[in-house]
Amino acid sequence: MTVALIVEQILNGLQLGTMLFLMASGLTLVFGVMGLINLAHGSFYMAGAFVTATVTATTGNFWLGLLVGVLAAAAIGVIVEFVIMRRLYDRGHLDQVLATFALILIFSEGTYMIFGSSPLFLSVPQELRGSVSLPFDISYSRYRLAIIGMGVLVAIGLYLLISKTRLGMRIRAGENDREMIGALGVDIKTLYTLVFALGAGLAGLAGSTIGALQSVRVGMGEPVLIMAFVVIVIGGIGSIKGALVGALLVGLVDTLGRIFMPLTLVSFMPASQAMSIGSAVSSMLIYIMMATILAFRPHGLFGSK
Amino acid sequence: MTSLQNRFNPQALAAGLVPQSREHWINVLLVVGLVGAAMLAHFLGERFYVNLASRIAIIAMAAVGLNLALGFGGMVSFGHAAFFGLGGYVAGISAYHAFNMTPVLGIGFMPEGSTQMLSIWLVTLLVSGLLGLVIGKISLGTSGVYFIMITLAFAQMMYYFANSWPAYGGEDGLPIYLRNELPLVDTNHNLTFFFIAAILLLISLWLSQRLMGSRFGAALTMAHLNPVRLATAGIDPRPVKLMAFVISAMIAGLAGALYADLNRFVGTNMLSWHFSGELIVIVILGGVGRLYGPLAGAILFVLMETWLGGVTQYWQFWLGLVLLGVVLFARGGLMGFLAGRSKDV
Amino acid sequence: MSEPLLQVKQLNKAFGALQATRDVSLDLYPGEIHALIGPNGAGKSTLISQITGNLPPDSGEILLQGEDITGLTVAERAQRGLGRSFQISSLADELSVRRNVMIAVQAIQGSSFRFWKPVSSDASLLEPVATILERLGLSDRAGTLVAELSHGERRLVEMACALALQPRALLLDEPMAGMGSEGTARMVKLLSELKHEVPILLIEHDMDAVFQLADRVSVLVSGGVLAQGTADEIRNHPAVREAYLGEETT
């Protein structure tokens, strides 16, 4: 176990954490402000990736693809909010779960209809290929490092947006008291649409950037979505700070667990057994962490109630 | 309106679950129709449709289990695939070890599996009840949207575990080479297997009916409708709900064991969150809190899957649209449509 | 005088900067009605909620028959004999009157984990329910859904649920609110009979009813006890007349 390996895995964990934060912050905002649980959030992730891959393939320009992908995800968010979600804000959680589950089916099958069943490929842009040298003789993927940097920028941006701007003030007011915000004379429908679009756009950004590391296919959003649920349950539903801390925790624990669990077990048992048991147990780690945290804090680390 | 009350059927509750006469006849019709269709298919030599009827019966049974937690107990579990899949793996693993004559889990003192359904069912009830106890205990410490996400997360944990545990097939799943057995009857006979599934379904329906009509059912109903009232009366709602969740998990688990034997295969798809979602859809399509709603929902769902799936490979797109329509506009479900709209209060 | 049945000692509760309960102490003796009066927002319902366990107090203790119940859950306190009615009706609207009262009868029989026998034909449940409903004049409404009841009838069903618990102490939060003069008169009669069976801590806005019923009165203002004494003492208490009754009667 070298220092280089450990540092590399920590960076991988941070990169996964960044992705999870992009997903979880949208989910938690939508829940905090509108009280809506949205299972179809992974569909925006998928939409961002498909649009980015298509635009990049036709124009040859990744950055244009990325921009169009994020905007498309946000635009789909606006449409979905306008047509369906606003009918669900006053409904119970069961109705929200059902309707958004239905949306997943519609989006997934719709994507199959449009793009067919074979995955699309999106390659890393020229400028970010290769690796950079870090101290301790470590070389690390330039693109992954850029993703981490982007995550930091988004986190700062969200912080500024929520703490410094008028929109952010309204979001905070909406989180505290949905009726008060109406009394303030804020156009609540527009606010909801904006918040939903912001969440969808962030999910689209996550999907577009990850699309260059994995294949772009139907269902790609689902594993990330479920990890994002774990993140916001750990962090406390409705809390952006909780989403950030939870995302980094889950990203690091999952990544490091997958590498180091089998390596640790090798000292106790035969290698093949260590690998299989290690990988099976490490796939459960984040859920065990979630259960443990909930046992002590039923509303998550930064949950309000 | 944060609970399920707006989806609830007050009449069935108020009447102490004595079915209204029209609903009663529809219940009888559903059961007779399913059994009749299976027998007809058998005598016409249509084995596919006999197996389809078995599939309906088994999925309906899993939905009956979920209905106990979701419809009657108000617990929106998005993780019942965990129990269904666990039951499937009990059947699969038991048959696997009996076939290879190796001890279960590779641990020396464990028995060498079994091909007897009765012992498989017993073990299934035990382990799925235990898993229900653990998941329920943790999840019921929270409420609302946390409950939904946590049950989903635990089911995913099982899914990933089964996926990455190579001993029992990992992501390839585990075949059951010879269908497990029952004394005196031939389980390989399609119609016989259907009757096994149908009898277990009827038992679980009858059990739910007794349960919901009993003192426990009265407490569970109040725990769902008004937990504060129940606590004020001196009954802690949490253990009541936990018990219902455990029973619900056991029924879903047993259905899973049957499902594995029907398909002679158990795979991680039985643990997937899509299946958890589909089970909720079935309960809702049938009408929440209606005793026979899960059966109506399962018939509708499997028929849609078969007919629409035959017409277009994108049938789930249309399922999504139908579901969206039901959620937004038709809140009583199929039983609400057939048995009359329950009075809105 | 005998031992107090219910004792509240130096209870405090704050919501942020708002001190909702301030050093409140009061006793409830067997056979009496102890009224809790005070302007809106004085913290009366918050106090009741702490006694029943729906809200945890910041400090102080609550004793029922000398036993400290401060750390117990709502259900555990109810099992020890604390019955309550809510200011806002908290019945299950979707169920019949009978089913609402039945759950309380079931609770005192300690038998919610019986899975087999149907309640619809269980005489040991139905008979006590029928007795209570008859006492409150609700017999012909037994099968009606609570949602279809009038406001006054709901109040009576709340009372029926509380009484079905055979409580040692009864906490009633505005049982006469919105009842009309006939209903109020009837409730006053019921409570004056009832106090010999079970002492009552009564929150009520109707001052005529309070002074007709109460043996002792505590006046709550901004979370603290302004005055405490017999009904006559309170009626003539200068600070009370000024701070509270004056406002109410003008």
- One-letter amino acid identity for A113? M
DSSP per position, C17-49: TEEEEEEEEEEE-TT-EEEEE--TTSSHHHHHH
Given a cut of 50, whether residue B11 has pLDDT beyond it is no
Return the amino acid letter for A53.
A
CA distance A145 to chain B (A): 28
Residues 162 through 201 of chain A touching chain B, CB cutoff 8 Å: none
List of chains touching B (3+ CB pairs within 8 A): A, C
Whether C114 and B222 lie within 8 Å, measured CB to CB? no
- Determine the pLDDT at residue B15: 43
Specify the amino acid at residue C238. P
Q: Tell me the three state secondary structure of residue A305.
A: coil
Supply B170's token pair: 């990992």
Which amino acid does the sequence have at B307? W
Amino acid at C248: E
Task: Give the residue carrying structure tokens 């979600």.
Answer: A85
B4: confidence class by pLDDT, cuts 50, 70, 90: very low
Tell me which chains share at least 3 CB pairs under 8 Å with chain A. B
Spatial distance between the Cα atoms of C96 and B240, rounded to a whole number of angstroms: 21
Structure tokens at A255: 């990544």
Residue with tokens 């306008």: A82
The radius of gyration of chain B's CA atoms, rounded to the nearest angstrom, is: 20
Give the 3-state secondary structure of residue B30.
helix
Candidates B24, B14, B72; CA nearest to B340 is B24
Residue burial C186-200, b: 16+ Cβ < 10 Å; e: rest: bbbebbeebbeebbb
What letter would DSSP give residue B106?
Answer: G
> In A281-297, which positions are buried (b, 16+ CB within 10 angstroms) versus exposed (e)?
bbbbbbbebbbebbeee
Q: Where are the domains of chain A?
A: 3-296
Run of H or E residues at A45: helix A41-59
Asked if C42 and C244 touch (Cβ cutoff 8 Å), the reply is no
CA B207 from chain centre, in angstroms, equals 14
Q: For residue C171, give the nearest of C195, C209, C201, C215 by alpha carbon.
A: C201
Stronger pLDDT, A109 or C239, i.e. the higher one: A109
Contacts of A254 in chain B (CB under 8 A): none
CB contact under 8 Å between A97 and B167, yes or no, is no
Nearest residue in chain C measured CA to CA from B225: C92
Classify A27 in phi/psi space as left (phi over 0), alpha (psi -120 to 50) or beta: alpha
Query: Pairing relation of β-strands C59-64 and C224-230?
Result: unpaired
Report how far residue B229's alpha carbon sits from residue B109's, in angstroms, rounded to the nearest whole number. 50
**Angle separating helix axes B237-263 and B47-67, nearest 10 degrees:** 170
Long-range contacts, A182-190 (Cβ 8 Å, 24+): A189/A86
In 10 A of CB A65, how many CB atoms?
Answer: 25
pLDDT digits (tens, 9 = 90+) for B279-333: 999 998 888 778 899 999 999 999 988 988 888 888 889 889 988 888 888 766 6
Instruction: Write out chain A's pLDDT in tens, 305 residues.
Output: 577 788 888 888 999 999 999 999 999 988 888 888 899 999 999 999 999 989 888 888 889 988 999 999 999 999 999 888 888 888 888 889 999 999 999 999 888 888 888 888 887 787 777 777 777 777 778 888 888 888 889 888 888 888 888 777 777 776 666 666 666 666 778 888 888 999 999 999 999 998 888 888 888 888 889 899 999 999 988 888 889 999 999 999 999 988 888 888 877 777 777 777 888 888 888 988 988 888 888 888 887 65
Q: Which chain B positions have a beta carbon within 8 Å of A37's beta carbon?
A: 145, 148-149
Does residue A151 contact residue A18 with C-beta atoms inside 8 Å? yes
Q: Answer yes or no: do C75 and B231 touch at CB < 8 A.
A: yes
- Give per-residue pLDDT as tens, B192-239: 999 999 999 999 999 999 999 999 999 999 999 999 889 988 899 999
SS3 A238: coil
Q: Do residues C171 and C84 touch, judged by C-beta distance below 8 A?
A: yes
Q: Cα–Cα distance between C137 and C134 in angstroms, integer?
A: 5
For residue C184, what are its two tokens? 């109020």
The separation between the first and the last C-alpha atoms of chain A, rounded to the nearest angstrom, is 42
Average pLDDT of chain B to the nearest whole number: 86
CA A45 – CA A24 distance, rounded (Å): 12
Residue A134 per-residue DSSP state: E
The more confidently predicted of residues A199 and B4 is: A199
- Interior/surface letters C6-38, b for 16+ CB within 10 angstroms, e for the rest: bbbbebbbeeeeebbbbebebbbbbebbbbbbb
Q: Does A298 touch chain B (CB under 8 A)?
A: yes
B215 contacts C161? CB cut-off 8 A: no
A176-185, B17-26, C20-29 — which one is most confidently predicted on average? C20-29
At B298, list the tokens.
């399962």
Question: For residue B167, which residues of chain A lie inside 8 Å, CB to CB?
Answer: 276
DSSP category for residue C198: S
Closest by CA position to A150, among listed A125, A174, A169, A176:
A125
Q: Which helix (H) or strand (E) holds A298?
A: none
Beta strands in B214-303 (DSSP E): 265-266
Q: Does C142 touch chain B (CB under 8 A)?
A: no
**Per the CB < 8 Å rule, is B148 touching A37?**
yes
Cβ–Cβ contacts within 10 Å for residue B118, how many?
Answer: 12
Q: What ipTM, to 2 d.p.?
A: 0.85
CA-closest candidate to residue B105, choices A301, A276, C125, C173? A276
Among B267, B287, B279, CA closest to B333: B287
For the residues B177-188, what does the mean pLDDT come to?
88
% of chain B at pLDDT higher than 90: 53
B174 sits in the region (left: phi over 0; alpha: psi -120 to 50; else beta) called: beta
| Cα C103-C109-C113 angle, rounded to 5 deg | 75
Burial of B166 (0-12, 13-18, 19+ CB in 10 A): middle
CB-defined contacts A:B, below 8 A: 134
The predicted structure's pLDDT at residue B2 = 35
User: Which fold does the domain A3-296 belong to in CATH?
Assistant: ABC transporter involved in vitamin B12 uptake, BtuC (1.10.3470)
Query: Which two three-digit tokens encode residue B127?
Result: 């382990």
| Two structure tokens written together for B171 | 């992501």
| Cα dist from A214 to A123, A305, C177, whole Å | 9, 38, 65
Residues of A in contact with B326 (CB under 8 A): 98
If we measure between CA atoms, which residue out of A22, A287, A29 comes closest to residue A151?
Answer: A22
Q: Is the pLDDT score of B344 beyond 60? A: no
Domains within chain C, CATH numbers bracketed? 1-81+168-250 (3.40.50.300), 93-166 (no CATH)
